[in-house]
Structure 1
Amino acid sequence: MKIMKYSKVLLMMMMLLPWFTVPILGKISFKRFLPAGLFITIVVRIVNFIAKKRKWWWWYETLHPKVSGVIPFMWGPFLVGSIWILKWTYGKFFRYMILNLIVDLMLTYILVDYLTKFGIASLVRMKKIHLMYVFTVEALLLYGFQFLKEKVLVSSV
């Protein structure tokens, strides 16, 4: 299939393109929300480790034989997207959850189908609704981390 020929290129673009938006974020926002973004990237890595063991989903394509296809997703749209979402919504929890729900719905019900079509990844033993639950827990962890970080920093100053 000709589409699969370009899957490595798509993975690379998925990882690199979000980083072109970082200068627009602003230095202050980037520094403020980067720790939470890195935290959630680590959480996603742990979840992916569990998912691989339990065969919840599978990444077929890799950038390198020893680098899972989830790595470009984690270090690209997930990390940068988390920082953007926090920049736009932090301090407004209801708005944060609504925006996350919209983004997660797009990831789950649109992007997963394209990843499958391009032979990059697919859900195996997990339904899309369960993936939404995973994304929701991750969203709560992200917001909670930022909340605690700011509470600790504010109280220590």
Structure 2
Amino acid sequence: MLRKHSKKYVLLIVLILPWLTVPLLGSKAFKRFLPAAIFICTFTKAIDIFGQNKKWWTFYKGIHSFDSMNFFNFGPYLVTSLWVLKMTYGNLPLYFISNTILHICFIYFGGLRIVKHFKIFSLVKLTRFQYLLIDVLRGLLLYGFQYMTELKECVHSDRSGN
């Protein structure tokens, strides 16, 4: 059983540690992919609320008014979205395979056990396979958002003569 204070430290580490890798992304990649990462985290928060109401999963108490999933969503999930886009964007098959492998590893090779142990979240009515399907669909949405963003910028720059 985690003590109240040690859980707070775990949540803060979950939030902060991934952000320590962001300078390695480079400012150009960070600026390029940040809107898509923020979009998918916001969309994920909406799914989190919907899924919690349907009892697909449960989120544990976090710090103050933030549930534990906020720390996970705006820490590792957001930063991983940035990294995966940087490393694979422009090659949809590579992106899809890489993203799916990351989710399979998280779901089937210990990640779900870790987040449950540290009382971040746990699945209730949702199977691991169903959770994987949701994650794969979110991944496609992330890529699609980035694609549409860049398509819009390309059209805009063509019209402005740049």
TM-score by length of 1: 0.94
Secondary structure in 2 matching 1:7: helix
The C-alpha deviation readout for 1:77-121, integer Å capped at 9, x for no partner, is: 111110100000000001101110111112212211112223332
- How far residue 61 of structure 1 moved from its aligned partner, in angstroms, is 3.5
Could you tell me which amino acid in structure 2 is paired with residue 130 of structure 1? Answer: Q
RMSD of aligned residue pairs (Cα, Å): 1.0
* Aligned equivalent of 1:152: 152
* Aligned equivalent of 1:104: 103
* Aligned equivalent of 1:8: 8
Counterpart CA distance in 1 for 2:127 and 2:14 is: 23
Q: Is the 8 A contact 1:15 1:73 kept in 2?
A: yes
The percent of aligned pairs where both chains have the same amino acid is 36
More divergent stretch after superposition (23-32 vs 102-111): 102-111
Counterpart CA distance in 1 for 2:152 and 2:121 is: 39
Secondary structure in 2 matching 1:62: strand
Counterpart CA distance in 1 for 2:114 and 2:78 is: 20
Summarize the Cα distance change of 1:72–1:119 in structure 2 as closer, same or farther, 3 Å threshold.
closer
The C-alpha deviation readout for 1:55-90, integer Å capped at 9, x for no partner, is: 1111123122x2111101111011111010000000
TM-score by length of 2: 0.91
Structure 2: tracts of 5 or more residues without a match: 158-162
* Aligned equivalent of 1:92: 91
How many residue pairs get aligned? The number is 154
Counterpart CA distance in 1 for 2:12 and 2:131 is: 23
Q: Is the 8 A contact 1:15 1:77 kept in 2?
A: yes
- How far residue 9 of structure 1 moved from its aligned partner, in angstroms, is 1.6
Q: Is the 8 A contact 1:61 1:121 kept in 2?
A: no
Counterpart CA distance in 2 for 1:7 and 1:107 is: 20
Counterpart CA distance in 1 for 2:120 and 2:75 is: 15
Counterpart CA distance in 1 for 2:122 and 2:155 is: 44
* Aligned equivalent of 1:17: 17
Secondary structure in 1 matching 2:58: strand
Q: Is the 8 A contact 2:58 2:122 kept in 1?
A: yes
Counterpart CA distance in 2 for 1:108 and 1:50 is: 20
Could you tell me which amino acid in structure 2 is paired with residue 98 of structure 1? Answer: I
Secondary structure in 2 matching 1:122: strand
Counterpart CA distance in 2 for 1:119 and 1:34 is: 28
Counterpart CA distance in 1 for 2:113 and 2:60 is: 14
Structure 1: tracts of 5 or more residues without a match: none
